[in-house]
Amino acid sequence: MKNDSNSSGTGEFRSGFIALIGPPNAGKSTLLNRLLGKKVAIVTPRPQTTRNRITGIFHGEGFQIVFVDTPGIHRTRTALHKSMVSSAREILGEVDLAAVIVERGRPDTPEVKMILSQLRQTKKPAILVINKIDQASPETLLPVIESFGREGLFEAIVPISALKGDGIDRLMEEFTSRLGPGPPFFPEDMDTDQPENFLVAEIIREQVFLEVRQELPYSTAVTVDVIEERGEGRPIYIHARIHVETPSQKKILIGRGGRMVKEIGKKARPGIERVLAGPVYLDLEVRVEKNWSRDSRALRRLGY
């Protein structure tokens, strides 16, 4: 989607940072991709997929919005979860506006209450985005809007379907109307500030979530050691490691005869080739990093 309006009418360039905050699986990454009109954040049907802040940059005529997709705010159990939630809370203090995304069918969860409490403490300007309205009848939406309206925390409440695009134009109008005068923070050809190795690692991790069942994906991390051009006409060589916590997890992830890890590589390759704009040779290694999600030093080593 491209919005070419300049609602201030002054001709003065406007910009701002907007955080997408919400509980796990509320649709923050799907919304970010929808707002930008391209994929910069991985999306899976499983909660807690996003672990790092993901920045998406929207370029309009006379304005720029820097969206920051955050890990889902939830009750913490491990060092990894604490790092994820801490990151989301820190971002709330850094941005100009918070867009709080909640699921249409789950408006009153403990995670939502945690977010409302954070808003009261920071007094950050906020818009409520009620997502997944396509999954319920319209008449059940009004009580949810009224309930959140009574909180007195939101400047606007916008029902949307990030998946289908319903309500996105109105949401963008709410965002652009609140931008203040400011410079463009990024050049027009940038859609995200994430480096290539991070984007490649995320695409691989997305396929781990989609291909591997049960709880194993939550015990995996991906790092990229090498992205190397090896001459004209040859594919870009990539060496990446999928880190797991136990030898039994490694066995599952590799699969019989290496079938599972080969399938992950096969499914990840097209997305990586779009990011790098060329053919790639993806060399995947599965490595045991014992209890990495509970070890703060390992978390730092793996980029969390």
110 pLDDT tier (thresholds 50, 70, 90):
confident
Residue with tokens 């203040």: 180
Q: What is the three-class DSSP state of 12?
A: coil
Q: What is the pTM of this model?
A: 0.78
For residue 37, which phi and psi values (nearest 5 degrees)? Answer: 75, 15
Question: Residues 256-269: pLDDT tens digits?
Answer: 999 999 999 999 99
Count of CB atoms situated within 10 Å of the CB of 76: 13
> 55-87 pLDDT, tens per residue?
899 999 999 999 988 765 545 455 554 554 565
Yes or no: say if 276 and 230 are a contact pair by the CB < 8 Å rule: no
Portion of the chain with pLDDT greater than 90, in percent:
53
Task: Note whether 293 and 244 are within 8 A (CB).
Answer: no
Mean pLDDT of 3-21: 72
The structure tokens listed for 61 are 């005529």
CA distance linking residue 287 with residue 73, whole number of Å: 29
* Average pLDDT rounded to a whole number, residues 244-258: 94
pLDDT for residue 34 is more than 90: yes
| Residue spans in the chain of domains classed CATH 3.30.300.20 | 196-301
H-helix segments, the chain: 28-36, 79-94, 110-122, 141-149, 168-177, 196-211, 247-254, 259-276, 296-301
**Which candidate, 162, 185, 187, places its Cα nearest to that of 172?**
162
The model's confidence at residue 48, banded by pLDDT at 50, 70 and 90, is low
Q: Please list the residue range(s) of the chain that carry CATH number 3.40.50.300.
A: 14-181
Q: Which fold has domain 196-301?
A: GMP Synthetase; Chain A, domain 3 (3.30.300)
Any idea which architecture 14-181 has in CATH?
Answer: 3-Layer(aba) Sandwich (3.40)
Q: Where are the alpha helices (DSSP H) in 178-225?
A: 196-211
Tell me, what's the pLDDT at 269? Answer: 96
The CA distance from 53 to 194, in Å, is: 9
Picking from 220, 234, 237, the residue whose alpha carbon sits closest to that of residue 272 is: 237
Q: In degrees rounded to 5, what are phi and psi of residue 243?
A: -95, 130
